[in-house]
Structure 1
């Protein structure tokens, strides 16, 4: 599936470890779903969440954003449209470089197991198709430049983030994302608290091709609009999707 980033202004973050709303029509109006989380997330509940999204909305793009390679299998890769891999700029080495090296070490192993799965998928694929198999898998991978700005969040703890960035540093990270790393996504993550438009405005000045996502504390149309008007391409809404579907509906831009 080719992603039309120009048409995406609202992204839903689905935590596989949390119950889904009983009525998934609440997703009508969102433009993209990202499935991922850290606490109590498994390959099995990730796959269940992805399939639930695709079964109800088959045309809706669905990304898997794994915290651990153990969350990924042949089934999750086939069920999701893309595998989005965060690179946390203000995290520890493991969450910027280490996990990526581990992932591609698994991809290149002959024979090998697919990134933590018990299924020997990649090894079998490479044995039959050679380097083309690696290229085929790589086309489904998307890199995300990430800045985590809420130190008390689970995202900060799991990513080894112990300091936030100033708006100037956020702008620098955005510039590096587009001009040096070439990631198609730059994500400013406030993880459950509202950070306001300052970081978004700082980053937006340096992004032309890269999609700018903001997540954190979006629980109203007013906040969503403020972030979009500051220069974000899309807001990412997660907590209220699970906890308060009616509030979630209000975050979708009209």
Structure 2
């Protein structure tokens, strides 16, 4: 299994959304470097367990991006912990994390845990509304968050989340340029190979999610970016 830092392409599946067995097989056997499971709303222990059990029929690495402590399911290869750096509510930065650690801290296998410095750039998205995110005013704001994550917090991942909207690739490029240790992950609006290539040229890792449910063929085409590496 590739080290996380070598991942260039990741598919993201939402436990609340339906996907057929055939479509799931095509996603998991596409050649993507990993499958991430997560969503902003409607994520439960039950639907997460169900999706994990279906993905585990295949050999692809599987990651749970944790949004709710009650939906933490054992059996994933890694657990990504978002810290929403631009949230107006400290619950989404450290509050919920502290509560989870009170209950589960002694049980955690820290070798599987990967914290993310999350920056939500689409306030009108489900994750933007849920977390009360205040989108960066300009690229200098974004670079400040990147340096905060990279240098002050020393987080292994900075995640630029445009959530359904294709982002400003100049912002993405400049963000990657200032990062020295953190890996830059980009997600949002990748609806085909052309945008996948644009994003992959400016970020370390791209995440493709919504297009799986709206146009599976175009989603699967995005894996071709791995041939460009």
TM-score above 0.5: yes
Q: Does 1:70 align with 2:41?
A: no
Shift of 1:143: 0.3
Is contact 1:151–1:164 with CA below 8 Å preserved after alignment?
no
Secondary structure at 2:116 match in 1: strand
Out of 35, 38, 41, the position equivalent to 1:36 is 38
Alignment of 1:125-144 (within 5 A): 133-134=106-107, 137-144=109-116
Q: Does 1:100 align with 2:97?
A: yes
Shift of 1:38: 2.6
C-alpha offsets along residues 84-111 of structure 1, whole Å, 9 cap, x if unaligned? Answer: 1100011121100101111111124xxx
TM-score (norm 2): 0.90
Structure 2 match to 1:237: 208
Structure 2 match to 1:214: 186
Is contact 1:196–1:227 with CA below 8 Å preserved after alignment?
no
C-alpha offsets along residues 16-47 of structure 1, whole Å, 9 cap, x if unaligned? Answer: 01112442223312111110113221101111
Structure 2 match to 1:18: 17
Is contact 1:149–1:165 with CA below 8 Å preserved after alignment?
no
C-alpha offsets along residues 185-244 of structure 1, whole Å, 9 cap, x if unaligned? Answer: 1100000011131221121112233211100000121111111222x0111110011222
Secondary structure at 1:229 match in 2: helix
Distance 2:209 2:149 in 1: 24
Larger Rg: 1
Shift of 1:163: 3.5
| Range with bigger deviation, 23-32 or 60-69 | 23-32
Q: Structure 1, unaligned stretches of length 5 or more?
A: 109-132
Equivalenced residue count is 221
TM-score (norm 1): 0.81
Distance 2:100 2:137 in 1: 27
Distance 2:71 2:123 in 1: 25
Q: Structure 2, unaligned stretches of length 5 or more?
A: none
Distance 2:167 2:207 in 1: 13
RMSD over equivalenced CA pairs, Å: 1.7
| Range with bigger deviation, 5-14 or 180-189 | 5-14
